[in-house]
Amino acid sequence: MEAYLDNAATTRVNESVKNIMVKALIEDYGNPSSLHVKGLEAERYIRNAREIIAKQLKVEEKEIIFTSGGTESNNLAIIGSALSNKRAGNHIIASSTEHPSVYNAMGYLKELGFDISYTPVDSYGRIDIEELEKLINENTILVSIMYVNNEIGSVNDINQIAKVIKEKNPSTLFHVDGIQAIGKYEIYPKRQGIDLLSISGHKIHGPKGVGALYVRDRVKVSPLLYGGGQESKMRSGTENVPGIAGLGQAISDIYENHTEKIETMYRLKQEFIDGINKLNETIGDVYVNGLVDDLRETAPHIVSVSFKGVLAEVLLHALEDKGIYVSSGSACSSNQPGISGTLKAIGLGQDLLSSTIRFSFSVNTSFEEIKYTLEELEKIVPILRRYQPH
């Protein structure tokens, strides 16, 4: 049996997404900037996708900019808005648990002379809103906070954060990394006080290499790429038409019968956590991270578990041998040496930092996969512990 439980890293493309992408690749393959009929056919895919996304977010179509993915969306939002608004101030705030595509963009801006502050999080991975309020001042031009943490599934109160930001400094822009939240939550930037929102295709059964950035009308953002002026001069380069078409289709698919899908995912998550708790009773020293009393206050698709006495990488490959696919953290940083900044930030014990696995589900995950994974964990973990070096 195979159990794919690494959906926070990437998801399997929907059949409907594949079909529209193949059509755009094989039949309607024109350059969307061309003036002939082939170009117009290609441009129609972009227009349709922009319409789908704008309608879902309840924003204007002109406020959607297509990118090469979540990393570019985050970089464009953060670096682009910082450079455009540096005359208003040079202070930027992020949380201490941001994704590398945010954290490293902040590092770049720091090298350029910007003043970067990081707000702490609680033991559940949620930012300390009172501390955030204290950090905001008249020079704060941008606050960037992730909606859902990609490693432990904690959820920030975006509405309250936006309220605090705008009350303290109405000119401060609010960027939300919504890459793990899109498709899991109904997100309405204008209602929620979000100025910039990043999304990615391959987290919601769309293709890799495509994403989008919502930029609220009249928010100034400097482009990172210069050329032919595509995407309202915000993102030059011939558009990835098949990818954009696939992203639009994926957004349409994921929000169809959305409530039922999310309910099923929460049932899967509860089933898995119940199984982990039983596993702890059986073999001991197994802990779920970032879990609050109400499961609904966490994301429906991510569970972080620490197995004391077992190296995460060793367990990952042992599970792989059984056809079970998981992650030892963010897929964008799990191949790099070092300990997760998120796990450090929530105060995880030193003995658990290198023993943590992320399990993540999707609308395609089955209860059989959950059961199989729990059964194999019960067999594998005690064996690995015997060989753990002391």
Round to the nearest angstrom and report the end-to-end CA distance of the chain. Answer: 34
What gap in Å lies between CA 91 and CA 140, rounded to an integer?
4
Lookup: tokens for 344: 């450090």
The residue annotated as part of the active site, out of 332, 353, 374, 384, is 332
How far is the C-alpha of 134 from the C-alpha of 128, rounded, in Å? 10
Q: Are 292 and 298 in contact (CB under 8 A)?
A: yes
Write down how long the chain is.
390
Active site residue 332: yes
Looking at residue 50, its amino acid is R
Structure tokens at 372: 């199989």
| Gap between the Cα atoms of 103 and 149, Å rounded | 13
Token pair 């809103």 is found at: 129
Q: What is d(CA 49, CA 355) in angstroms, rounded to the nearest whole number?
A: 41
- Can you give 137-169 as a three-state secondary structure string? CCCEEEEEEECECCCCCEECCHHHHHHHHHHHC
Hey, how many other C-beta atoms are within 10 angstroms of the C-beta on 220? Answer: 12
**Angle formed by the axes of helices 100-111 and 70-84, nearest 10°:** 30
Q: What is the 3-state secondary structure (H, E, C) of 35-51?
A: CCHHHHHHHHHHHHHHH
Q: How far is CA 328 from the centre of its chain?
A: 16
Tokens at residue 219, please?
Answer: 């928010």
Kindly calculate the radius of gyration of the chain based on its CA atoms and give it in whole angstroms: 21
DSSP helix/strand/coil, 87: coil
CA distance 318 to 126: 32
Distance CA 303, CA 386 (A): 25
Q: What are phi and psi of 200, to 5 degrees?
A: -135, 145
E strand or H helix at 4: strand 3-4
Amino acid letter for position 126: R
Active site amino acids? 332
